[in-house]
Amino acid sequence: MGPQRARAGPHDPRPRLGLGSARGLGRPRRRPARARAGDRARRGRPVGAGRAAGAAGPRPDAADGAGRWGPGGPVPGSRVPVQLRAGALGGPGLATERRPRGDATMTTIENANPSADHATVFVILDAGRSDYVREDAMPFLHGLSRTGYRGSFESPPGFAQRTTMFSGRYPDTSGNFSQFVFAPERSPFDWVESLGPLGKLVRPRKVLAPTRWAIDWITAKKTGHFQTDPAWIPPEFMPYFAMCEDTQPVFEDGALGAPSIFDLCREHGLAFRYLAHPVSGDDEEVFDTLVRELRQHAPYDLYLAQFSITDEGGHEHGPFSDAMQQRFLRDVDAKLATIHALLSTRYDSWDLFVVGDHGMAPVEQRVDVLSALAETEAEPAEDYVVFVNSTLAVLWYLTPKGRKAIRAKLPEIEGARVLDEDERRDRRIPTEERWGQDMLAAESGVLFWPDYFHVRDSTVRGMHGYLDKSDEGLGMAVLASSDPVVEPREADPRSLVDVFATLCGLLGLPVPDTQEGTSLLDRARREPPVAEPEQEPPEPEQVVSDG
């Protein structure tokens, strides 16, 4: 068992910043957000217009002869066609010319501004371990880390890292702990019971994937819900579960139940670009879109982009495989180098914040929790319900018989241990029954298999979500900026909740009282100069008149 995290919350002794305290968070030279929004409005730029990702077409530098590109982007005055799907933005220096070409539009860049004022790019490197930032693995990012803040983030338990990063709250505060929550009264999958014997076809095999897609499609048609993918939950258990974090896109107004970074941007007139799950899961699409829009000076204050190859490749090949160390990391490193080059040459000021949302551990042992529970006299979906994630199995009891039989079996399961309520509370794991009456946690390196997110005929050599981080490692933290407030500094591990307050500081936004983190800039910034005390003016001399 790894070390327990000290409880942090409303009574956390760490300094916290309330509303109106964005001043001094690390950008004392920048104008307030509202003033910058007014500048954009006068220049004809949209404010507060957070948008989801558009699709990427060919990279701008691959345009075939219709325009001229310099090292930093289009040569002013040239006409460079860029393929975009419908919905491409116009902006300063952009003239959008619609031409029928399948589902694409042709965007022409005329007299693009050679420089914009500021951009903050926040890159989530999914499962980006902090020890990936090495000269032999990611030479560019390693060098960049020496110019600014470098450290690591520890992810809270559970599988709702986006809520943690985007709103600065732990799972027991946010109410988001996993993709699914026990909620039979509002499950969108209640109709699955009507499948009867056909439900037996829904099994986690590659060849049976169309059955999962069919349930997703039918559920969406029946309910109109935003997210209806049932993963590989056994059909007999589906009617007990509802979506949690993905009830609507996380960047929409009020989506996370407390002010998010996107809500604050809208409130204070800043525009953002969201290029991450669930809008896109294609790294090349995300990269091409980001590069194109940085070159075009698209009117965004904040870009949020996610690269997933480190998670996908880590699961399939393992975090220390040759494929990861020699191919995937080098590929991401090259992408980050391109992003940095555009920021440093095309913008007056910029921030590049690279975060690993969690680590990845090699899988050494598989444990079949479902088969172990089947050895008891309790019947699934009659006496108990279980949700098997890769490193955490959560149980609910429908009858006293199920409670007695399953609780007697849990301590016998190899490579796992039962979490008591005190440990759940200490680790900031929600203790409400909807998040489980019992929890079984995998020891480091143990994979609960089969689980509800992978097909049985797949290869899984890496996993995350362990309570013990000794093998999984921590996520990377690299912050570089044109602002000298971000000085070279190597810091101790921090909690992932600190990402939110840091983003607020970079954007000059107030930090709401609902969040629980501390900005990285609080520790990295320079102390403000001490003003000389003002001297009181001398007393005026009294003039006595002779008259």
Partners of 96 in the β-ladder: 107
Average pLDDT over residues 214-219: 96
How far from chain centre, in Å, is Cα 308?
Answer: 11
362: left (phi over 0), alpha (psi -120 to 50) or beta: beta
What pLDDT is attached to residue 339? 98
Cα–Cα distances in angstroms (integers) from residue 117 to residues 130, 342, 346, 359, in the given order: 31, 13, 9, 35
pLDDT bracket for residue 358 (50, 70, 90) = very high
HEC string of 188-236?
CCHHHHHHHHHHHHCCCCHHHHHHHHHHHHHHHHHHCCCCCCCCCCCCC
Q: What is the DSSP string of 313-360?
A: HHHHH-TTSHIIIIIIHHHHHHHHHHHHHHHHHHEEEEEEEEEES---
Q: What is the pLDDT of residue 525?
A: 37
Please name the residues in contact with 310: beta carbons below 8 A apart, sequence gap of 6 or more: 125, 126, 127, 128, 129, 132, 324, 328, 329, 332, 356, 360
Is 209 within 8 Å of 155 (Cβ atoms)? no
Q: Average pLDDT in the 491-506 region?
A: 96
What's the average model confidence in pLDDT over 413-425?
A: 97
Which has the minimum average pLDDT: 77-81, 280-284, 531-535? 77-81
Domains and CATH numbers, the chain: 33-39+119-173+257-359+475-524 (3.40.720.10), 51-109 (no CATH), 176-247+363-463 (3.30.1360.180)
Among candidate residues 282, 211, 261, the one with its CA nearest the CA of residue 56? 282
> pLDDT at position 536, please?
60
Q: In this model, does residue 28 exceed pLDDT 80?
A: no
Q: Is the pLDDT of residue 298 over 80?
A: yes
What are the structure tokens assigned to 328, written together? 């995937």
Question: pLDDT tens for residues 56-90?
Answer: 333 333 332 222 323 333 333 332 222 222 222 22
Above 50 in pLDDT, residue 158? yes
What the block records as the tokens of 344 is 């440093």
Q: How far apart are CA 381 and CA 384, in angstroms?
A: 5
The answer to whether the CB of 447 falls within 8 A of the CB of 459 is no
3-state DSSP of 56-116:
ECCCHHHCCCCCCEECCEECCCCCCEEEEECCCCCCCCEEEEEEEECEEEEEEECCCCCCE
Stated pTM of the model:
0.77
Provide φ and ψ at 502, rounded to 5°: -65, -45
> What pLDDT shows up at residue 538?
55
State the distance between the two ends of the chain, measured CA to CA, in whole angstroms: 95
pLDDT at 52: 42
Token look-up 């975090």 returns 319
Q: What is the pLDDT of residues 362-375, one digit of tens each?
A: 999 999 999 999 99
Find tokens 């098997």 and name the residue.
Answer: 388
* CA 415/CA 342 separation, integer angstroms: 48
The closest alpha carbon to 288, from 313, 271, 305, belongs to 305
- As a whole number, mean pLDDT of residues 281-293 equals 95
Say if residues 188 and 243 touch (Cβ distance below 8 Å): yes
**538 token code pair:** 């001398």
Provide the pLDDT for residue 539. 59
Are β-strands 149-154 and 489-490 bridged in parallel, bridged antiparallel, or unpaired?
A: parallel
DSSP string, 140-189: HHHHHHTTSEEEEEEPPSSS-HHHHHHH---HHHHS--SSEEE-GGG-TT
Question: Does residue 505 contact residue 19 with C-beta atoms inside 8 Å?
Answer: no
Predicted pLDDT at 11: 31
**What pLDDT does residue 277 have?**
78
